[in-house]
Structure 1
Amino acid sequence: MKLYENGAYLLNGTQIVEDAADVRQILAAKTGKDVTKEEAAKNTIAYGILEEHNTSGNMEKLKIKFDKLTSHDITFVGIIQTARASGLEKFPVPYVLTNCHNSLCAVGGTINEDDHMFGLSCAKKYGGVYVPPHQAVIHQFAREMLAGGGRMILGSDSHTRYGALGTMAMGEGGPELVKQLLNQTYDINMPGVIGVYLKGKPIIGVGPQDVALAIIGAVFDNGYVKNKVMEFVGPGVSNLSADFRIGVDVMTTETTCLSSIWRTDNEIKDFYAIHGRPEDYKELNPGDVAYYDGMIEIDLGEIRPMIAMPFHPSNTYTIDELNANLMDILDDCEKRALVSLDGQVDFTLKDKVRNGRLYVEQGIIAGCAGGGFENICDAADILKGASIGPDEFTLSVYPASTPIYMELVKNGAVASLMATGAIVKTAFCGPCFGAGDTPANNA
């Protein structure tokens, strides 16, 4: 993986030219055109989408109006109550209320279901879309039902990312959604745009989370993409399935970027057709000469299976590195714990080493990143004929939506997983933030 020190131009979607003193002459020789940096910066996919949604008339000071909004049951109660107190009469744009977090389930009583009924009543009163519990995690519903080429979506969840489908999506705190509900705007300076140039294709055994973790590990600490838009381009994009792209895209949140967008092709066109919305597809590509404020060049064939260790997804290693340097890496994790936990918790992972290998008590395949159809099919293939055993180890699998679950039932993947001893559950975001499958003490 290469991070360019300067900005870079992308020619015809396939050739990178790093910014330098004589770059204008180089570009003229290659393209036969005299293109300025300012003109080329307008040829990114991101610029075009932001321009279409900006109401200020000034591309340096954006005032964005989003096409659609989405929230879940941790956030929509406070958002709608605040908007009501501020004069809300109807939702001015489609607003989806999903019930996939259920954060109050530990309280007991009816509080959790009362939240859901509040959401349902608001959807009926103000014109929103209500998604019942267990039907879909927020982001998978948005992929299947909301996303569209060239659109912008604002969600009150940090992992609001639908760039692989050609939708620039952003996750923000509730007040920004309240503003949209009151016909106000999302006001930001024009963000930088970082190109992510993909070439080659992944080797067998490398999945979307591996690619995502490799990127996060390379850019988090140095702030390379902080508050910028990551734009995925290059021929390698077409070597990835829609599910694979989605799995990478949703984890761009962990890089600290503002949003993401990808070039689209027939793979994404088929995705929309499969979900009964062919009219929502739009082909997106950068212009013939596009300028990016930075460039990340990735040969997908060089990515290896990855693992993120505590206490952040950027603390990444390849599985080979972990196995070769296990005790040193665990020692580093314990030192990080002293900082992250302020010395208040006696944290260790070294007690998980058995016969020189790292032992875990729990496996979870879930959420907006892991609960996709292909991801679960791969797990079923790997585990077929095996048993997880009756010991400490447990395995829970959460398909990200009911349509995904149905297809997994039809193709036999659910039966294969259950035969191993795994438990296949309904769509729920809980394991991602500790509201479900909470591990035992010291597990």
Structure 2
Amino acid sequence: MIKLHQGGVYLVNGDTIMPEKTDPHFGIREFTGRSFSREEARRETITYSILKAHNQGTSMEHPRLRFDCLASHDLTFVGVIETAKASGLENFPLPYVLTNCHNSLCAVGGTLNEDDHRYGLSAAQKYGGVFVPPHQAVIHSYMREVYAQCGSMILGSDSHTRYGSLGTMGIGEGGGELVKQLLEKTYDIDYPEVICVYLRGKARPGVGPQDIALAIIGAVFEKGYVKNKVMEFVGEGIENLSADFRHGIDVMTTETACLSSIWQTDGVTKEYYDCHDRPEDYKKLKPGLAAWYDGLIEVDLSKIKPMIALPFHPSNVFAIDEFNSNAEDILHSVEEEANKIIKTRFRFSLIDKIHKSRVKADQGIIAGCAGGTYENIMAAATTLKQGRLGNDVFSLSVYPASQPVMIDLIRKGAWGDLAQAGVSLRSSFCGPCFGAGDVPASGQLSIRHTTRNFPNREGSKPGEGQMAAVALMDARSIAATALNDGALTPATDLDLDYDHPRFSFDSGVYQTRVYNGFRKGNSDVELQYGPNITGWPEMGALEENLLLGIASVIADPVTTTDELIPSGDTSTYRSNPIAMARFTLSRKDPAYVGRAEEFQALERKRRAGEALPREVQSLLETLSSSGGPAVTAQNTGIGSVIYAVKPGDGSAREQAASCQRVLGGWANIAREYATKRYRSNLINWGMLPLIMDGEADFQSGDYIFIPGIGSAIKEERESIKAVLIRADKSSPLTFTIGELTGEERRILLAGCLINFYRREIIPV
């Protein structure tokens, strides 16, 4: 079904796979008439050509990229614009699309969501942006429909910024990286490894894009096979996939932890651009004669079955029929994981979902950038023509990805067919993907064609005894399950013809409602601030030494961004950094905020020149007398740090880092960082991304002293010496920080990117 090749491979003429041999010219000459070195062949990938075209620097080993377009939704754009404004923003120098799809509905009441939307429109008018009002489109559908171009690059402040199926390299990053683009700076990376994803064969009827995506995620995630790499999709199997089918696979590549994705383009891609009245945005993209890849994933589409990703990660994948055959044992392991997460007397159960040897779900959702496409919803409508949902527990909601999708579903009758079947029909809204809509009841199991099923992602609050869970499935199998009163059913069990009329795109609603102000900014326009919209608090520069109080120790194998800063109702305060910060780790370690604030209070005293508590002053004196350089309150910053084994999987939301910084955080300590974007968020907010080997013998309340950290950053030291201090003992520690660009070092020294771009630059 899926084969991972070990080591590099050549792809010759786009269809012949040659594992790398000792002779780098092995077998290539007879197919191409010439030899290729590895370096020559590396330049034959689609990825190389796009990165080269966007590189503003002189080296392709360390490209400095400028993007063609930016995109943010209403969970992030206020923070991005306020950060850029504080850093010297005058206008948007490239198209910046502000969509309103994450907080279209208010989770806790009040005017906060609409206040943010009003702010977004005023910012688009002032700086020359594009404003997509609520309920018009989810962010990634709009970007596909209007802004994707073959060979272009889009940067978004959402992790699922993926448009590779349209020949566009999309990258999801924290807001700080968008700020840099708005200030006409660059996105600086090491040239990424590129992994070939070779598709062959044809998917069986009833198998949808989510099934293919989940199978790939299950094969690669735990191995880290594509982590921070680019996935380049090629192969004869692509011609058997529609554009919507490709989108559905592509957007889920985020869950593999890759950096980006790109697909070869063909007649199907051209038809998509023609349909959307943008024929000029199509061009043929394909690998050269002999392209060299750092690895290869071989996917036989014909052998993939309908899949399910069980809680609590998209990589926890099983074929639905295999899961149904062994459900009790598998669900027991999921329960054990859930009860580790809850850490209360409340016990979460899934075994009780087994009825007469079948697992029954309580809720179904088809929504968002992955599920809400025209073909997915049409497939669900086709299925549900065979029956009705009934009036028992199981419910099904459908959210189209955009108004043009909804309009065509209405015109073709599918919208009415779904309503007749008992489906709840909604507007274009991302809420179910992150717990701001259709939150299941406690103890329920929801099956969803959305992007993630992390703990609490559906909106439950385990700390308060509220616990639900999500399993990911394709729309086709969700609809088949709906026919069976919620009993999990692979769509291949039904004999259905999924052919349907082609999609017809009507841009009229966008022409009517979307504000397109690129290059039309008016500096006289006043930004419209609601009562919840506040600027960033002052953040100091990095001192020569740091005294860090350990505010939280998380021993879980992976810590998601949703656990660092919960989504759902907490995100209502996204535009108020101080209010938002009080939710940091609230569902993982509720005592964290109090501990962090205690250390922050010490730093405020220090910066104000006030006397520190006697025990802290004595500690500084002891450290100063240890034989090294003088340690004083004037050259030693005080703050907090968290330890997590592998933090940052999931969302690009910078609040996972910025909220720690607002509370006085100066660093994270980890064995490794789950994604590049989380590490970038830490750096952009002035937090040290420290790495340590081995187990951490830390406890909350311990101190870590890092002498000479300012000099270590300036001098690019490979290792950083520190001391763990607790009441009964002290012991040496050694950290590494990984490679930093010159600009990243300056940002850390300045204390955050706002300070740096205000020209509070410390010479390096």
Please say whether Structure 1 and Structure 2 have the same fold, judged by a TM-score greater than 0.5. Answer: yes
Structure 2 counterpart SS, 1:195? strand
Structure 1 match to 2:176: 175
Distance in 1 of aligned mates of 2:181 and 2:104: 25
Structure 2 counterpart SS, 1:307? strand
Name the aligned partner's letter for residue 110 of structure 1.
Answer: T
1:103/1:435 contact within 8 Å kept: no
Whether 1:384 and 2:385 are equivalent positions in the alignment is: yes
2:200/2:236 contact within 8 Å kept: yes
Q: Deviations over 1:266-321 (max 9, x none)?
A: 10111011111111111100001000000011111011100000110000000111
TM-score by length of 1: 0.98
Structure 2 counterpart SS, 1:134? coil
Moved more, 171-180 or 334-343: 334-343
**1:9-408 matches, cutoff 5 A:** 9-102=10-103, 105-342=106-343, 345-408=346-409
Structure 1 match to 2:493: none
Distance in 2 of aligned mates of 1:312 and 1:363: 17
Structure 1 match to 2:570: none
Distance in 1 of aligned mates of 2:65 and 2:399: 35
Distance in 2 of aligned mates of 1:341 and 1:59: 46
TM superposition shift of 1:103: 7.2
- Bigger RCO (CA 8 Å, 6+ sep): 1
Moved more, 233-242 or 96-105: 96-105
Distance in 1 of aligned mates of 2:96 and 2:194: 28
1:311/1:340 contact within 8 Å kept: no
Structure 2 counterpart SS, 1:189? coil
Structure 2 counterpart SS, 1:313? coil
Distance in 1 of aligned mates of 2:224 and 2:264: 24
Distance in 2 of aligned mates of 1:313 and 1:287: 33
Distance in 2 of aligned mates of 1:4 and 1:331: 33
TM superposition shift of 1:343: 5.8
1:72/1:99 contact within 8 Å kept: yes
For the pair shown, the structure with the greater C-alpha radius of gyration is 2
2:354/2:360 contact within 8 Å kept: yes
2:104/2:429 contact within 8 Å kept: no
User: Cα gap change, 1:343/1:229 in structure 2, threshold over 3 Å: closer, same or farther?
Assistant: farther
Name the aligned partner's letter for residue 108 of structure 2.
Answer: V
Q: Deviations over 1:370-425 (max 9, x none)?
A: 00000000000011141111111111000000000001001111111000110111
Distance in 2 of aligned mates of 1:24 and 1:169: 33
Name the aligned partner's letter for residue 96 of structure 1.
Answer: V
User: Cα gap change, 1:336/1:126 in structure 2, threshold over 3 Å: closer, same or farther?
Assistant: same
1:104/1:111 contact within 8 Å kept: no
Structure 1 counterpart SS, 2:70? strand
1:148/1:281 contact within 8 Å kept: yes
2:104/2:135 contact within 8 Å kept: no
| Structure 1 unmatched runs, 5+ | none
Q: Which runs of 4+ in 1 moved over 3 A?
A: 338-345
Distance in 1 of aligned mates of 2:42 and 2:344: 48
Name the aligned partner's letter for residue 42 of structure 1.
Answer: R
Distance in 2 of aligned mates of 1:436 and 1:25: 55
TM superposition shift of 1:23: 4.6
TM superposition shift of 1:165: 0.2
2:11/2:291 contact within 8 Å kept: yes
User: Cα gap change, 1:119/1:198 in structure 2, threshold over 3 Å: closer, same or farther?
Assistant: same
TM superposition shift of 1:109: 1.5
Q: Deviations over 1:51-79 (max 9, x none)?
A: 00011110011111000000000000010
What is the count of residue pairs matched by the alignment?
443
| Structure 2 unmatched runs, 5+ | 445-764
Identity %: 60
Distance in 1 of aligned mates of 2:4 and 2:386: 43
TM superposition shift of 1:341: 3.8
Structure 1 counterpart SS, 2:27? helix
Q: Deviations over 1:200-243 (max 9, x none)?
A: 11011100000000000000000000000000001111110000
Distance in 2 of aligned mates of 1:359 and 1:34: 58
Name the aligned partner's letter for residue 368 of structure 1.
Answer: C
Distance in 1 of aligned mates of 2:377 and 2:317: 23
Distance in 2 of aligned mates of 1:141 and 1:104: 19
TM superposition shift of 1:29: 3.1
Q: Deviations over 1:24-52 (max 9, x none)?
A: 23222332211100000000000100000
TM superposition shift of 1:342: 4.5
Distance in 2 of aligned mates of 1:282 and 1:293: 26
TM superposition shift of 1:107: 2.8
